[in-house]
């Protein structure tokens, strides 16, 4: 199993000079390739793609020797990044996303991430060195903390964020084999809390931390003060730096909480199969108007997709699996009678004409569990789950409310 570890490094002035020179060559390669593609599109010239531009690199190095400073695979990966940017734009545009925009030229102050894929780096006991042929001959050797021990490294990337340098190391880590213990637990991932239900009909809730509520006021005040300063003045740079630090601390706290919460979820459940619903915060923000507070909560409580990624890889390491299924209609459908009603996000309790009164997140978690069991033909577990819920006072029908047409995805 491949995992990625980010490590903060300290570069000397000489190393920083070399890194800036190498990054500038990658930036120019990206911009030149982008201009070539745009001109080919305007003039209706075909055949300008990643393969063609990659094959032109040796000729470019002969004409401009300074591009030989950069390791060959780093330049190739820069072109591959441009190709991936175009493919992403075309895919989003095909789906009708009006916010999709084509790749743009990188400015002079942009530090291009340099990716060393499978080669171009050397690792030792507590250090890692990147290859280059810059004329200064300065070694790009960086100290790695002893707590990080990598058995096999596949890829090393170096990037810059808020005037600090980081290494992103992709390495191999062994995982346990999955064993189905016939135990299942369904999760409804939300903004306020994560709600879980198992086959025994027992619920468990994990509240989400909201560090964004603490950082919202100081960041808005700093942004307001900065916007009243002359742009790029000394005071503007001072306030901008403090504002960036506040945003960085907020992001770090959210990521740290998601790491701890995902570890707690995986370790606390006896079920080896964990079912979660697919969520699209982007689409949730598009529905409804004049809900600024709701949109802020959706975007500022941490990336839900990142949370699913944390759950997925930690489950694999523990010998478990994450199954992601469509949760379309699970909040609107009554878990007792199957009728549907509109459930805006601010409505936290589900009230049905059949007499069912339940928390909306618990109702959704039950429907996710019923949907998974019925779609996969696990009728023994389905009836066991329905029977256990009846003992808690919920009257669950003994037949499936779900058609076997929806798809589920296993990770």
Mean pLDDT of 1-15: 95
The b-or-e profile of 157-183 (16+ CB within 10 A means b, else e) is bbbbeeeebebebbbeeeeeeeeeeeb
Structural domains in the chain, sorted by start: 2-172 (no CATH), 184-208+254-410 (3.30.420)
Is residue 403 over pLDDT 60?
Answer: no
pTM of the model: 0.84
pLDDT for 342 equals 92
Mean pLDDT over each residue of the chain, to the nearest integer: 90
Tell me which of 399 and 396 has the higher pLDDT: 396
Q: For residue 238, what are its two tokens?
A: 């001072």
Question: What integer is the mean pLDDT of 239-266?
Answer: 94
The more confident residue out of 45 and 295 is 45
Residue-level pLDDT at 401: 52
Rounded distance, CA 96 to CA 286, Å? 14
- Residue 114's pLDDT band (cuts 50, 70, 90): very high
Spatial CB neighbours of 376, under 8 Å, sequence gap ≥ 6: 408
pLDDT surpassing 70 at residue 301: no
Mean pLDDT of 101-123: 95
Supply 402's token pair.
Answer: 């779900």
Q: Which helix (H) or strand (E) holds 50?
A: helix 50-55
Give the separation between CA 74 and CA 52, rounded to whole angstroms.
17
**Is the per-residue pLDDT at 251 higher than 80?**
yes
pLDDT given for residue 80 in this prediction? 97
- Residue range 356-374: average pLDDT? 94
Residue 298, C-beta contacts closer than 8 angstroms, at least 6 positions apart: 191, 281, 284, 285
For position 345, what pLDDT does the model report?
Answer: 81
| pLDDT recorded at residue 405 | 40
pLDDT band at 278 (very low <50, low <70, confident <90, very high): confident
Query: What pLDDT digit, counting tens, does each position of 73-91 carry?
Result: 999 999 999 999 999 999 9
Select from 188, 206, 195, 209 the least CA-distant residue to 297. 209
Q: What percent of the chain has pLDDT over 90?
A: 75
State the sign of the Cα–Cα–Cα–Cα dihedral 48, 53, 59, 61. positive
């Amino acid at each position: 199993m491949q995992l990625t570890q980010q490590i903060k490094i300290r570069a000397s002035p000489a190393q920083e000079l070399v890194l800036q020179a190498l990054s500038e060559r990658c930036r120019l390669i990206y911009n030149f390739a982008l201009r070539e593609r745009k001109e080919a599109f305007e003039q209706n010239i075909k055949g300008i793609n990643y393969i063609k531009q990659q094959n032109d690199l040796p000729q470019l190095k002969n004409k401009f020797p300074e591009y030989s400073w950069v390791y060959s695979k780093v330049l190739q990966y820069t072109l591959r990044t441009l190709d991936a940017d175009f493919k992403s734009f075309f895919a989003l545009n095909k789906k009708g996303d009006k916010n999709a925009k084509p790749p743009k030229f990188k400015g002079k102050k942009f530090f291009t991430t340099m990716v060393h894929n499978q080669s171009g780096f050397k690792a030792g006991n507590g250090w890692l060195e990147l290859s280059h042929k810059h004329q200064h001959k300065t070694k790009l050797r960086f100290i790695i903390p002893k707590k990080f021990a990598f058995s096999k490294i596949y890829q090393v990337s170096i990037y810059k964020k808020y005037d600090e340098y980081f290494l992103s190391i992709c390495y191999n880590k062994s995982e346990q084999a999955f064993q189905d213990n016939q135990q299942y637990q369904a999760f409804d991932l939300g903004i306020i809390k994560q709600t879980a239900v198992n086959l025994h009909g027992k619920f468990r809730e994990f509240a989400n931390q909201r560090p964004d509520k603490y950082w919202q006021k100081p960041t808005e005040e700093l942004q307001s003060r900065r916007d009243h300063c002359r742009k790029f003045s000394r005071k503007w740079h001072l306030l901008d730096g403090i504002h960036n630090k506040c945003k960085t601390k907020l992001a770090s706290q959210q990521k740290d909480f998601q790491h701890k919460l995902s570890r707690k979820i995986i370790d606390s459940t006896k079920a080896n199969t964990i079912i979660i619903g697919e969520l699209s915060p982007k689409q949730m923000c598009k529905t409804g108007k004049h809900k600024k507070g709701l949109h802020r909560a959706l975007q500022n409580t941490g990336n839900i997709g990142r949370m699913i990624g944390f759950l997925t890889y930690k489950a694999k390491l523990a010998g478990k699996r994450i199954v992601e299924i469509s949760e379309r209609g699970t909040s609107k459908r009554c878990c007792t009678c199957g009728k549907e009603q509109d459930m805006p996000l601010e409505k936290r309790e589900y009230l049905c004409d059949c007499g069912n009164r339940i928390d909306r997140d618990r109702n959704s978690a039950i429907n996710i569990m019923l949907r998974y069991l019925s779609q996969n033909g696990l009728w023994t577990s389905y009836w066991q789950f329905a029977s256990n819920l009846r003992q808690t006072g919920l009257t669950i029908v003994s037949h499936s409310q779900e058609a076997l047409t929806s798809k589920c995805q296993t990770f």
